[in-house]
Amino acid sequence: MEKKRTYTDAGVDIRNADQTKAELKHVMATGDPRVMNKPGAFASLFAADFAGIDNPVLVLKAEEPGSKQLLAFQHGRIEQICRDLIHHLVNDIIVMGAKPEVVLDTILCGKLERETVVDIVKHLSQACREQDCSLIGGETSEQPGLLSEGHYMLNASILGVVDRNKIIDGSRIRQGDKVLAIASNGPHTNGYSLVRKIMEESPEIVDQTIDGESFLDAILRPHTCYYRPLKELFEMPELHGLAHITGGGIAGNLNRILPQGTNARIDCSTIDILPVFNAIYTFGQVPPEDMLQTFNLGVGMTVVADPAGVQLIIEHLRKHGCPAYEIGEIVKGDQVVEFIGQLQWYNR
């Protein structure tokens, strides 16, 4: 008699998935009246009602926290990687002056472990609430064979909104504007394939102490979210552009908002390089140009502003716990970032 095979035998337990999803309804609870149905529906209903916005433009972005999530799950840092994902998403839309509204997540796993999935959704929901938005739905999928048991892959999409007349897109940037750096707290969510390679080939780096904490703690700090410090500046006329410094570094992100006829000239000697990057540079023997292209080096966001508003912006950000300082200016050019000066490393 032929052996009967079930979906559970193949590695997918639908009953366990259904029980897990039932638990998720509680951790995703939101008081936003615009969310019109509960988790578990085929799709999420959201009433497009945006108070105080006369000409709403929807701002959309999808993101994943890269290979940092491999390290995070290996070391039990579920809450941190969930914040990484939400904070990266929020930062990507606020550079256009948008308010975050709702998020949809996707959780892929080799085997659905109920407690882990509930923890993931709980932390994603909490991270959303802290940034004035809601996790309103998503997808959880077991993929045995694609992912091994205990392995997870997270990604998510966000919807934000901005008034058409208040979009920040860099179009107001002009020669003579100043470029400010807003400090990061570490690598955020970029460069982790290189970090993991260095950890593998130079394992002594893991024994290093960075600013009084372990190397692992330093590289697994959650991505800084800049929404609350920046939102009060969105309507400031002197603020001409914002760039989130992610993969590609300053050159690969600031150039995305430069209008025709301009360059951004950045003085590398002014960048306050965080100690964690010095450790990566030293133990990995990474060329300076590769460090500059791969990592934010301590610059999580750049602000382009009229000189008349620079001091006010810096003081406002510092009051909100975000150190900010001048690193360059806008000059005539062809929409590229040019570097002068030398990066200031510690003793190698």
Compute the chain's Rg from CA coordinates: 22
pLDDT (0 to 100) of residue 2: 67
What is the rounded distance in angstroms from the CA atom of residue 209 to the CA atom of residue 135?
Answer: 36
pLDDT at 29: 78
Q: Is 76 exposed, middle or buried (0-12, 13-18, 19+ CB in 10 A)?
A: exposed
Look at 26 and 290; give whichever has higher pLDDT: 290
Q: Specify the pLDDT at position 21.
A: 67
Of the ranges 26-40, 87-101, 104-118, which one carries the lowest mean pLDDT score?
26-40
Contacts of 311 (CB under 8 A, 6+ apart): none
pLDDT value of position 237: 97
Question: What is the Cα–Cα distance from 135 to 39, expressed in whole angstroms?
Answer: 10
Q: What is the pLDDT of residue 15?
A: 78
Q: Which of residues 221 and 8 earns the better pLDDT score?
A: 221
What's the mean pLDDT in 195-203? 97
Mean pLDDT, rounded, of the chain: 93
Considering the domain delimited by 178-340, tell me its CATH architecture.
Alpha-Beta Complex (3.90)
CATH of segment(s) 14-166: 3.30.1330.10
pTM attached to this predicted model: 0.92
pLDDT at 19 over 80: no
Of the listed ranges 20-24, 71-75, 97-101, the one predicted with least confidence: 20-24
The β-bridge partners of 139 are 106
Q: How much is the average pLDDT of 217-231?
A: 97
Q: What percent of the chain has a predicted confidence (pLDDT) above 70?
A: 97
Q: What is the pLDDT of residues 242-269, one digit of tens each?
A: 999 999 999 999 999 999 999 999 999 9
Region 73-99: mean pLDDT is: 97
Question: What is the reported pLDDT for 348?
Answer: 39
pLDDT value for 75 = 95
192 pLDDT exceeds 90? yes
The structural domains of the chain, with segments of one domain joined by +, span: 14-166, 178-340
**Neighbouring residues of 222: CB distance < 8 A, sequence distance ≥ 6:** 79, 80, 81, 83, 84, 87
**Tell me: the pLDDT tens digits for 25-74?**
777 778 888 988 777 777 888 888 898 899 999 999 999 999 999 999 99
User: For residue 109, what are the β-bridge partners?
Assistant: 142, 152
Q: Mean pLDDT, to the nearest integer, of 186-198? A: 97
Instruction: Please write the tens of the pLDDT for every residue from 114-166.
Output: 999 999 999 999 999 999 999 999 999 999 989 999 999 999 999 999 999 99
pLDDT of residue 1: 54
Give the DSSP per-residue string, 263-323. Answer: EEEEEGGG----HHHHHHHHHHT--HHHHHHH--TTEEEEEEE-GGGHHHHHHHHHHTT--
Q: What is the pLDDT of residue 26?
A: 73
- Interatomic CA distance for residues 186 and 278, integer angstroms: 11
Residue carrying structure tokens 């300053």:
250
